[in-house]
Amino acid sequence: MTEAAPTERFAGRAWILLTVRLGSILIVTVVLWVVLRATAGIESFPPSTTWATLGLLPVNVLCLLIVRKFHRDKGVSLRAALGIQKGRIGRDVLWGLLWLFVLNIPFMAVVAGTVFALYGSDAPSAFATIFFDPASSVRMEPVVLLVISLVAVIPFMLINAPTEELVFRGYGLDGIASRWGATVAIVATSLLFGAQHILFAATVPGMLVYFIAFTVWGLCAGFIVRKQGRLLPVVIAHWIVNIMMSSPAIILPILQLTGVVPVF
């Protein structure tokens, strides 16, 4: 009984952390939608990517604080939980670049395969509409858009990848695995990782594509972390993806302000 209690507590806290992550994302998304609906007349749900990224700021801070507390209760720092070790950073960066390539192959294949399964021969044209809903966009002056993008994107670039990995492939995965085994843990955290990204899609078909694709990413990342025994390389791969995907939100208004790109 005394031996099972710490394991049960570890697993229970893992579920709490995962529930807080998904629940807070849902709450923030709904609040953003209500505000945008009232102020800008935007009816489409969920909000566009820029607003979703802004909403992730409080979610990431909350989750980072919770996972830090849970780790500290076990006598583990976030640095140790991430696997940051002097003398191994260079190797971890190289592993991260490898995992970036490995993870993106099945991810992109699943995105393409799901879109083709949904649209058949119309899939090439569907790619232009499934991931962007013009009705969810708010027209803003480039300087305003740049300020919002900086507030939303810079923190996202810095803390989203380590926070998500600490939640899903770190504490969440280890906690569930401690009681139900690695297979159940990888599947459960991957499904929740996919479910989280439903609210970042622009359309209903996009929600399905995101759910499947990010679940596959989670499965592959979870397997890598369990086999390699290190979290940092996957964090680095995740970091690079986040930077590549979110940096256009900053670059576009800068190009508009400089006159290189016309204001839409």
| pLDDT tens column, 10-25 | 999 999 999 999 999 9
Instruction: Identify the residue with better confidence: 215 or 121.
Output: 215
What pLDDT is attached to residue 1?
A: 34
Spatial distance between the Cα atoms of 46 and 52, rounded to a whole number of angstroms = 8
Per-residue model confidence as pLDDT tens digits over 103-156: 999 999 999 999 999 999 898 888 888 887 776 666 777 888 888 888 888 999
User: How many other C-beta atoms can be found within 10 angstroms of the C-beta atom of residue 42?
Assistant: 20
For residues 231 and 221, the answer to whether their CB atoms sit within 8 Å is: no
Positive or negative CA dihedral for 62, 103, 249, 258?
Answer: positive
pLDDT band (50, 70, 90) for residue 94:
very high
Per-residue model confidence as pLDDT tens digits over 38-88: 988 888 888 888 888 889 999 999 999 999 999 999 999 999 999 999 889
- Mean pLDDT of all residues in 87-105: 95
For the entire predicted model, the pTM comes to 0.92
Structure tokens at 108: 């992109």
Helix (H, G, I), strand (E, B) or coil at 99: helix
Spatial distance between the Cα atoms of 231 and 157, rounded to a whole number of angstroms = 18
The stretches of 41-141 forming alpha helices (DSSP H) are 49-73, 78-82, 89-119, 123-130
